[in-house]
Amino acid sequence: MRCRRTGRPPEQALASNSVERFVVTGGSRLAGEVLIPGAKNSVLKLMAASLLAPGTTTLSAVPDILDVDVMADVLSALGARVGRDLAAGTISIETPDVPGAVADPELVRRIRASVAILGPLVGRRGEARVALPGGDAIGARALDMHVDGLRRLGAVVDIEDGALVARSSGRLQGAAIWLDFPSVGATENLLMASVLAKGTTVIDNAAREPEIADLCEFLARMGARIEGIGGSTLVVDGVEELRPVAHETVPDRIVAGTYAIGAVMTEGDVMIRHGRAEHLGIVLEKLAAAGARIEPGADGFRVSSTGRPRSIDVVTLPYPGFPTDLLPQVIALEAVSQGISLITENVFDSRFVFCRELLRLGAQLRTDGHHVVVRPAPRLAGASVVASDVRAGAGLVLAGLVAEGTTVVHEVHHIDRGYAGFVENLCALGADIRRERDVAVA
C-alpha cells in the first residue's frame, strides 16, 4: 500500500501513551486540491473569548487539532460545557453565569494559547489565576506586556507559585496602552479585558494579524465597540455586557502557506481552497520570486512550479511581514533551491533548533545568531529526525517529500497540534506518507 490514510484517533485528543511517527518516502509531486480549515491561532482565542458572555457560543470551521481539545478542557474546568461536532467542524461552548477563576494548571501548561483566558476572566469576573503557560520550545515569550497592560486597566497582577494572578475590585477602567512590540498575545488579552471595562481603552502598536481582526469581528458581533480593526491602533469603548453569538473562524494562513511551499518544493500544482491570498501577501511574493506561479481565485489560490526553485532571502517580522510560523518551511525550501539564501528570524530566539534536524537530511546551512545561511545541497537524503514544535515538524515533513529514500519524523504529536489531517491531505495530493506507532521510542 503506497499511502495508508490513518487519522488521529479520538482517544489521542490529550496526552496519550501512544507515540507515533510519520514515515515519508521522497520523490512525489504534490498536485490536486486541499481545503484549508479555520486558523489554530484564531479559534483558540475565540474559545477563550466565549468566557465574556453567559450562554452558548458556536464556532464553525474549527480544525480537528490537539490544541482545540486542550482548550476545550481548559474551559470545561472553568465550568463551561463544551460540545464538538467533528463532522461539521463546529464547537459549542455554554458559558455559565459565573465561570471559575482558577484555571487547571496541568491543562494550561500544555499550550501557550491558554494564557488568553486571563483577559476575559479578569475583565468579566474581576479575578483570574492562570499558570504560566507551556507549548512549543521555540524560545521565551515574555508576558510583561500582558501584565503591564492589565495593571494600566486597574488590575492588581502578581506571580504566585508559578501562576499569574490578576484581581480587580470592580470593573476595569479604560486606559491608554502602548505595546513595546506588536505582540499578538498581549493585544488579544488586553483587547478581551477592555471590552467590558468602564470608559475608553486605546491600544497602540497593536498586532495586526488577520487572527486579531477575526477576534475583533467576533467581539463586535457579541456587542463590543471596537474601532481601528486591522490597524495598529485599536480603540475600545467598554460596554456593560456581551451576548453569545455564532461565528466562522478565519482560514488558517499558516496551514495554507505550508501547502503552498510544499507545492513549490515538489514542483507541484496545488489549489488551496479557502486560502486567502491577501493574508499571505509577502509569502506569495517570495514564492513568485522563487519561480512559482500564483493564481488567486474566488475560493482560494493556486500555486504551481516547474524546475528547481530560485533562492530567496527572508526576514521574519510581525504581520504584514513574513510570518515566523513559516520559517522552518521556508528554510526547507531554501535547502533545495538554487543559490545562497539568508534567512533572518526576528521574533523567537530558538526557531533554529529545527536546523539541527534538517542537517541530518543533508542540508547545507550554517546558523549565526538570528541568521541562517543556506547553500544549495546536491541532494537531501532520508534520515530519522525529531519534530521539536508544530512548524518544525511540518518543515521536516516537507523536506522528507523531496529527500531521496525514507524520512522518519518522530514526536508528531507536535504536528497534530496545528495541522488537521496532515497525512490524509498530503496523501490526497500524491505524497507517499503514513502514520504509524513509533516502536523505536514506545
Strand ranges inside 136-199, DSSP E: 156-160, 163-167, 176-178
For residue 40, say whether it is annotated as part of any ligand binding site: yes
Contact 334, 311 (CB under 8 A): yes
436 by DSSP, 3-state: which? strand
Q: Give the integer Cα–Cα distance in Å for 83 and 118.
A: 22
User: For residue 186, which amino acid is it?
Assistant: A
In three-state secondary structure terms, 60 is strand
Angle made by CA atoms 185, 8, 44, in degrees to the nearest 5: 15
For 176, 194, 196, 230, 442, the CA distances from 200, given in Å and listed in that order, are 8, 8, 10, 18, 55
Q: Is 156 annotated as a binding residue?
A: no
Phi, psi dihedrals of residue 50, rounded to the nearest 5°: -60, -20
Q: At residue 158, what are phi and psi to the nearest 5 degrees? A: -135, 165
Q: Out of 136, 214, 252, 438, which one is annotated catalytic?
A: 136
Length of the chain: 442
What's the CA gap between 15 and 405, in Å, rounded?
31
Q: In the numeric block, which cell numbers belong to residue 359?
A: 542537517
Specify the 3-state DSSP secondary structure of 83: strand
Closest CA to 23 of 442, 440, 325: 440
Q: If DSSP codes are grouped into helix, strand and coil, which group holds residue 64?
A: coil
Question: If you write DSSP's letter for every residue of 139-154 in order, what string do you get?
Answer: -----HHHHHHHHHTT
Q: Is 347 annotated as a binding residue?
A: yes
According to the annotation, is 112 in a ligand binding site? yes
Distance CA 310, CA 313 (A): 10
Q: Which strands make up the sheet holding 81-85, listed edge to edge? A: 81-85, 90-95, 55-60, 246-248
**Is 136 a known active-site residue?**
yes
Helix (H, G, I), strand (E, B) or coil at 371: strand
379 among the known binding-site residues? Answer: no
Q: Tell me, what DSSP letter sits at residue 250?
A: P
Q: Which residues are annotated as a binding site for phosphoenolpyruvate?
A: 40-41
Catalytic residues: 136
Q: Which residues are annotated as a binding site for UDP-N-acetyl-alpha-D-glucosamine?
A: 112, 325, 347
Q: Which residues are annotated as a binding site?
A: 40-41, 112, 325, 347
